[in-house]
Every structure is written in structure tokens, then in C-alpha cells.
Structure 1
Amino acid sequence: MKILITGATGLIGSNLIPFLRPNEIAVYTRNVAMAEQILGHKIHFLSSLEHLKDLNDYQVVINFAGEPIVGKKWTTQQKHEIESSRWSITEKIVALIKASENPPELLISGSAVGYYGRQSDNIIDESFTNTFDDFGHQLCERWEYLAKKAESLQTRVCIVRTGVVLSKRGGALTKMLTPFKLGLGGVMGRGDQYFSWIHLEDMLKGLVHLITNKDCHGIYNFTAPHPVTNYQYSHELAKALRRPCLFKIPEKLLRAAMGESADLVLYGQRVVPKRLLESGYEFVFPDISQALDCLRK
């Protein structure tokens, strides 16, 4: 089977490739030299999609390309970059699928739990429709809309609304570890906002599950079954590291440092993976204490 991946140098893509072997892997990247350093040489690299007329040669396309949402303040220019980096590549992928006489059997396209917008403590599964119309929702809504256009009798589309991926190989957790290891970590804002997370291993095995189970299609929340509040998460992380959790980081300080993007940590969603569980996937790390204890080692 031939698989095309966009966004393969990120945390999810780079760790997914070993799970997809021995299938033949092709990667679309704007920086082939950097991608070769990260991923190795036993991959077919595409520096452009413009020369492709269709995707007849591929059975699966995994689309996770996009400018990181965290790390920079959400200026007007940065918001545009976040949006266009996702929307434009998704439009190109869908156009190539539609131009194919023998299109891919599956498109897995990224999204995020940010689709739901800021929420309180409502339990949110894939049927939830009372979304909050903020930047995260607007970003994901169009991203998903574009991906759904690829769906046909020949191509099933799975859209993955991902929570915070926990891994010691990168991502959000590695940014949090240093202050917590120093005993300086703490609760963000009020602390009652929900934190929907998933261990990297479940993220990767869940994606393989979507590929191998041909009945899977539509929206899937990729979060662990038991979301926690920021207060619970912070104290569990401190406990796993055998450090105290004494501090509380006020909203004003987070706003000063992060601007509007502070919404990502000040608000949350209590998201559960109902459809993934119903499809037969069994989580390796359903509970936060188990996941953090594993990641500490």
C-alpha cells in the first residue's frame, strides 16, 4: 500500500511513519533537506504537489500539514498563516483526489477539539453542535468542510479532532516539564477549564485503527476517555515528577505573554472519544495518571 503524508515532520507525522511500515511512504514537504534529517532516506519526498495530476498511485492520504497554533501570538498575519497553511493544502489534496480515476480509499484529515470553541463542563462527543464561534472553531470548521469534499463512493474521509498530544518526544508536555521539574509549575487561570488530552501512543495506534477498519468514516474525537481539569492535570503532572504544585498563573500574566492565544489554556472542552470507542478501539492510556507516569520514565 502507498501512503502520502503531509505534515510528516511534526510530532504526530514523524512518529507515525514507523507504525505504517512496511507500506511505501511518500511525504510532501516544503523543506526536503530538513525532512530527510528528521525522517531518514527510505521515503519518497515531494517538494511540490503542482506536478501531480491525480493521486491514482496512493491508497491512503494523511493530511496533517499546518503552521503550529501555539508558540506565537495570534496577530492578524499569524492567524492568516495558521488558516492558509491548513486550508490551501487541504484544497489541493481534495482537488487531486477528485481528479483521480482510481482515487485513494481513505483521506484522514486533521482538525482539533478547538472546533467546539470554548466550553464549560459539558461532556462533548462528536454529535455536539452547540459550538462557540471563536478563532479555533472558525479555523477547524472550514478545514473540515474542505476535507469532506473528498468523500465519495470510492473514498472514505475520516476527520480527526485532536486534543493535546502528550509525549516526551515533543509537543506541549515538553514545554511544561522544565518549570514543573524545578517546582515552579502551577495551575493556569482558574483551573476549572477542561483539558482534553491523548497519549502519543494512542494517537498513533488510533490512526492505524482508522486505516485498517474500513467501516470508519466521518468525525472522530482523538482524546482520552477521561478528560481532566487544568487543576487536576497540573497536580497529576507534579505528582508524577515528585514535585510540588504550589503556584497559580493568573490570566493577566498569560494574556500579557500570549495575547489572544492564551485562550488555548484559559478555556477548554470536556471532549470524549465516543465514536472511536464504539468502533472498537481500546485505549492504552485512558487515564491521566497512567499516561504521565509512563511519560516520566
Structure 2
Amino acid sequence: MKNILVSGGTGFIGKHITQLLQSTYKIFILTRKDNKPPQTNVSYIEWLTPHSTPEKELPKIDAVINLAGESINGRWTDDKKQAILNSRLKATESLLDLVKKLPEPPSVWVNASAIGYYGTSETEVFTENTENHGIDFLAEVVKAWETKAKGAETLGSRTIFTRFGLVLGKDGGVLPQLSLPYRFFAGGTVGSGEQWVSWVHIEDLAKLIKETIENEQYSGPVNVTAPNPVTMKEFGQVIGDVMHRPHWLPAPSIAFRFLFGEMSMLILKGQQVLPDKALNNGFQFSYPHLKGALHDLLQ
């Protein structure tokens, strides 16, 4: 395996995955902007513009990583929700159409997804063997996205749906926002505190993506979460401990709902998700526990 094609490669998660993979593979990132300078083992290919012909610029592609889609951050108005869904379906369909034009299909297709597939619960534990999916907006988006991406299976590609948990990083994700109140000595439990947070360090996310590409034992859904989820109360307490700040000022649910609307469910509701496939395949998390992850990211 030599060449990897990435859509959505310029975002927070895409940048970290590219940084890890480029030491081993040649990376081709699809982009609407063609003014990005090439890096070592990284080339940018114009895509989804009126005159772009990426199929003529690409060599044989061994793996595809599909991360493209409208950010879920922001108030979920009706227009925003439509953009979140449509962007994922249209980008995936366009990527499938592109791959069909290549001389041969990739051996593996890794599609971004989310643990939002499972819906929310304070009592249930979700693994890749969980058959039922949630009925809220995010669950329906994930279900539709994965259904669209299953088109890669008909091309003969081993297809993987990487269901991301709450991604923690220094330069993106939700950690900067969640840790900000603690910097001003105003941190505390968000909502009830009993909701589960299934999280993952961005470094482990990138490593697991690489693992799913290289290890043929992976297919279907793969939970990309650390093996030790915590409650939101514990999450806040660990932030305070690592930052040497008090954990004392509660953030009531009503305030979050006022600020973020329906999107507040990402923080106020949760699910306990375990990465059974990764563990059963012997994957070693660099940051299996929250305290170690936050020490790395916040200090």
C-alpha cells in the first residue's frame, strides 16, 4: 500500500491523520482550493470545482479516508441541520463517483462517523455489536451517512465506519471550550454531571485510523473511543485537577440550551461507548485514561 486519498483532510482531524500517515504513505488531499503548497509526501488535488478533473491527476489509490462534511459546531437551525446532512451525503456520493473513474478501486475505504449513531443513555453500554440506533437528529445523520458510504462495499473495498467519540486535542475539538472556564477559576459540573463522556485523544484517533487501514481484521463499525469513558462530573474534576483550578461553579443545563440550542445535547446527553473491536485486535491506546490525556493536552 502506497497512496492514500483523503477528503476533508484540511480540518482538525484530517490534519492530525495526515501528519501521522505522511511518514509512511503518499497522501493526496482533495480540496476546493488549489493554492495550497505541497508538503513532503502530501499533494493537494482540486475537487468539486467546475473544471476540476481529479481522476486525471491521481495515481493508483490504495486507501480512501472520507472525512468531508459540514461542521456540527454552531446552533442547529433548520438550515444548519440540512447542511450537516446534505454535505456528508453529497461529498460521499461525489467521492464514490470519483473512485469509480479510477482504473481500480482502493482496497480499503475508511469513512468518518460518530458514536451519535447509538443515541443517548445514562445506563446502557454500547459496542460495535449494538444493533439498534438512536432516533435523534445526529443518530439519523450518522445512519444516513453510513448507508451512503456502504456504496464502497459494492466497489470491492473493505469498508470501515470509524465512529468517533468526543475528540480531545489542543488545536480543535471541544476541549478548548470545556477547559476555558477553569482558566478563569469558574469551572464546574456541566448539566447533571451524570451523562457519560466517551472521549478519545486525537493522537489515538489517528493511530487507530492507521491501524484500520493496515489490519484487514477491521471492517464495518469501529468505535474510536478510549476504553475508559467517564461521567461529565468526573471529566470536569479531572480538568480542574490537571489545571490546578477549582471545580465548583455548576453550569446548569438551561444555560447550555439557551446558548447552543439543540446542539447542547452533545454535552448535556451522552453515551457509554466501548472500543471492543480495537481492544480485541490488540490495539494499544497511548492515552487510555482521561487524566493522562489531559496532562498531555493541557500542560
Q: Distance in 2 between matches of 1:27 and 1:53?
A: 13
Match of 2:231 among 221, 229, 232: 229
Superposed CA RMSD in Å reads: 1.9
1:215 Cα deviation from its structure 2 partner:
2.4
1:30 Cα deviation from its structure 2 partner:
2.0
User: Gapped runs of 5+ residues in structure 1?
Assistant: none
CA contact (8 A) 1:194 1:230 kept: yes
Instruction: Tell me the amino acid that sits aligned with residue 66 of structure 2.
Output: N
1:11 corresponding residue in structure 2: 12
1:25 Cα deviation from its structure 2 partner:
1.2
User: Gapped runs of 5+ residues in structure 2?
Assistant: none
2:21 corresponding residue in structure 1: 20
Q: Distance in 2 between matches of 1:63 and 1:271?
A: 22
1:160 corresponding residue in structure 2: 162
- Within 5 Å, give how 1:175-194 maps onto structure 2: 175-194=177-196
Say whether 1:253 aligns with 2:263. no
Q: Distance in 2 between matches of 1:122 and 1:88?
A: 33
Instruction: Tell me the amino acid that sits aligned with residue 135 of structure 2.
Output: D
Going from structure 1 to structure 2, the CA distance change for 1:56 and 1:103 (only over 3 Å counts) comes to farther
Superimposed CA distance per residue, residues 88-145 of structure 1 (whole angstroms, 9 cap, x where no aligned partner): 1111122333454411011100000111112222111011133320001010001001
Say whether 1:58 aligns with 2:58. no
CA contact (8 A) 2:134 2:140 kept: no
Superimposed CA distance per residue, residues 175-215 of structure 1 (whole angstroms, 9 cap, x where no aligned partner): 22221121112211111010010011110111111111122
Q: Distance in 2 between matches of 1:134 and 1:31?
A: 34
Superimposed CA distance per residue, residues 67-94 of structure 1 (whole angstroms, 9 cap, x where no aligned partner): 1112x11001001111111111111122
2:152 corresponding residue in structure 1: 150
Q: Distance in 2 between matches of 1:152 and 1:85?
A: 22
Residue 264 of structure 1: SS of its match in structure 2?
helix
Residue 152 of structure 2: SS of its match in structure 1?
coil
1:241 Cα deviation from its structure 2 partner:
0.4
CA contact (8 A) 2:65 2:110 kept: yes
1:223 Cα deviation from its structure 2 partner:
0.2
1:79 corresponding residue in structure 2: 81
1:51 Cα deviation from its structure 2 partner:
2.3
Pairs aligned (count): 293
1:68 corresponding residue in structure 2: 71
Going from structure 1 to structure 2, the CA distance change for 1:288 and 1:89 (only over 3 Å counts) comes to same
TM-score by length of 1: 0.93
2:47 corresponding residue in structure 1: 48
Residue 219 of structure 1: SS of its match in structure 2?
strand
Match of 1:123 among 122, 125, 142: 125
1:271 corresponding residue in structure 2: 273
Of residues 272-281 and 54-63 in structure 1, the stretch that sits farther from structure 2 once superposed is 54-63
Q: Distance in 2 between matches of 1:174 and 1:264?
A: 15
Q: Distance in 2 between matches of 1:88 and 1:107?
A: 17
